[in-house]
């Protein structure tokens, strides 16, 4: 996932550089940056990157889509790009064509459940759904009596209560009460809510890793500009060591996230080894968001705590992304159970499986 040996990432980075400059977005209190950015992304076919041509998308590979999400993280992009990509991907699992416009997926938490009633309508509540308020359609994973289905739902038919996550992005509660979906089809064999959460978790991991990379960049830059006690603060050993730790957290997050993305891109199924990759990425990236973001703020001092400065666009969003599609606590418990069930002598073979 080098910066630009990839046409999808190159296109995205150019759009982000032109229309998603963090400082300009930060200064624009009215949100007038959003429409042009979304239009440019849509015209480039990026929100439907993971949807095949015949289902209305641009048919990029999983790997390219993951690289795109990492780039989006480096700009802390706050439009429903990841969410629409995930929704398109989910719909494509059941060969449902993607409509135009913003989408998001539900449920967005492993604990929430949408069910299919006898008449084929959908009911249930999903909390913490990113950008639900902005979405025109929802891609929904729903449970029938014995089967799992994937549905396209008109967002106007659902009840959506606005909420904000810790990064000031929409994180809403969506309630479906006997909603008839636009389309509903069975999920492929073996596909379940866990698969969807792992996929969403890896998407968030790549965004967190991107945000950490940006935080490292702006922290290093700031430390080379800011003078205190008659020296650039980058010359103080304590600051250097803090930045070295931030570099380590950023590198660990990127390594975990890109490894998981690579595993999913090349896997035949979501087996235990892929589960380990995806769950570990979410756990480790969430830990890195906490530790790394803390260091970035420490380096910046008071200025980084102001709403005028762009640091919070990365730090708070990285913290918020920890909660989507299963928090690190959730995945740690699940991964721990998996390891315990396989037994002590199977732990190393699992870790060393690739």
Could you list the residues that contact another protein (CB under 8 A)?
A: 1-3, 213, 216-217, 220, 223-224, 234-235, 237, 239-241, 243-245, 247-248, 250-252, 254-256, 258-259, 261-263, 276-277, 279-281, 283-284, 287, 328-329, 331-337, 339-341, 343-345, 347-348, 351-352, 354
Q: How far is the CB of 253 from another protein (least distance, A)?
A: 8
39 SS3 class: helix
Q: How far is the CB of 248 from another protein (least distance, A)?
A: 5
**Shorter beta-carbon distance to another protein: residue 7 or 244:** 244
Q: Give the C-alpha separation, 199 to 278, whole Å.
A: 7
The residues facing 139 across adjacent strands are 105, 152
**Shorter beta-carbon distance to another protein: residue 178 or 231:** 231
Count H helices and E strands in the chain, helices first: 11, 10
**Shorter beta-carbon distance to another protein: residue 152 or 256:** 256
Q: How far is the CB of 24 from another protein (least distance, A)?
A: 22
The residues facing 141 across adjacent strands are 150
- Which regions of the chain does DSSP assign to beta strands (E)? 103-106, 114-116, 122-130, 137-143, 148-154, 159-161, 171-179, 183-186, 227-228, 231-232
Q: How far is the CB of 265 from another protein (least distance, A)?
A: 9
> CA distances (Å), 215 to each of 73, 128, 219, 256, in order?
11, 25, 6, 18
**Shorter beta-carbon distance to another protein: residue 30 or 341:** 341
**Shorter beta-carbon distance to another protein: residue 97 or 255:** 255
Q: Give the C-alpha separation, 289 to 212, whole Å.
A: 7
Place of tokens 């980075």: 13
Q: What is the H or E stretch that residue 55 is in? A: none
**Shorter beta-carbon distance to another protein: residue 308 or 345:** 345
**Shorter beta-carbon distance to another protein: residue 137 or 297:** 297
Q: Give the C-alpha separation, 125 to 68, whole Å.
A: 30
Q: Among 157, 34, 140, 161, which Cα is nearest to 83's?
A: 140
Q: How far is the CB of 61 from another protein (least distance, A)?
A: 15
**Shorter beta-carbon distance to another protein: residue 182 or 338:** 338
Task: Render 214-280 in DSSP notation, one character per residue.
Answer: HHHHHHHHHHHH-EETTEEGGGSHHHHHHHHHHHHHHHHHHHHHHHHHHHHHH-SS--HHHHHHHHH
Q: How far is the CB of 297 from another protein (least distance, A)?
A: 18
Q: How far is the CB of 192 from another protein (least distance, A)?
A: 20
Q: How far is the CB of 268 from another protein (least distance, A)?
A: 15
User: Are the C-beta atoms of 100 and 46 separated by less than 8 Å?
Assistant: no
């Amino acid at each position: 996932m080098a910066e630009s040996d990839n046409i999808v990432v190159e296109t995205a980075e150019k759009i982000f550089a032109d229309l998603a400059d963090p400082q300009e977005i930060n200064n624009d209190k009215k949100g007038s940056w959003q429409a042009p950015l979304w239009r440019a992304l849509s015209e480039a076919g990026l929100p439907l990157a993971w949807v095949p041509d015949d289902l209305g998308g641009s048919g990029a590979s999983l790997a390219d889509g993951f690289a795109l999400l990492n780039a989006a993280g480096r700009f802390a992009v706050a439009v429903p790009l990841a969410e629409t990509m995930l929704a398109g991907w989910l719909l494509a699992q059941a060969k449902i064509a993607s409509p135009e416009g913003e989408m998001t997926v539900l449920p967005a938490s492993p604990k929430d459940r949408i069910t299919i009633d006898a008449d084929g309508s959908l009911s249930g509540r999903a909390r913490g759904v990113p950008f639900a308020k902005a979405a025109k359609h929802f891609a929904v994973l729903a449970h029938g009596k014995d089967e799992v289905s994937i549905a396209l739902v008109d967002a106007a038919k659902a009840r959506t209560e606005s909420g904000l996550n810790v990064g000031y992005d929409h994180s809403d509660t969506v309630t479906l009460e006997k909603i008839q979906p636009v389309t509903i089809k069975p999920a492929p064999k073996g596909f379940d809510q866990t698969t969807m959460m792992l996929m969403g978790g890896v998407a968030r991991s790549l965004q967190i890793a991107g945000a950490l990379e940006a935080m490292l960049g702006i922290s290093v830059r700031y430390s080379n500009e800011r003078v205190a006690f008659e020296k650039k603060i980058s010359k103080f050993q304590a600051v250097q060591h803090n930045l070295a730790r931030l570099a380590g957290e950023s590198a660990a997050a990127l390594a975990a996230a890109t490894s998981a993305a690579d595993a999913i891109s090349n896997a035949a199924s979501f087996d235990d080894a892929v589960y380990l990759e995806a769950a570990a990425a979410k756990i480790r990236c969430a830990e890195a968001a906490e530790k790394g973001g803390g260091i970035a703020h420490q380096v910046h001092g008071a200025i980084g705590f102001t709403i005028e400065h762009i640091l919070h666009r990365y730090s708070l969003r990285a913290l918020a992304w920890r909660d989507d599609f299963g928090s690190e606590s959730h995945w740690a418990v699940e991964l721990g159970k998996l390891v315990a069930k396989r037994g002590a002598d199977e732990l190393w073979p699992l870790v060393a499986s690739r």
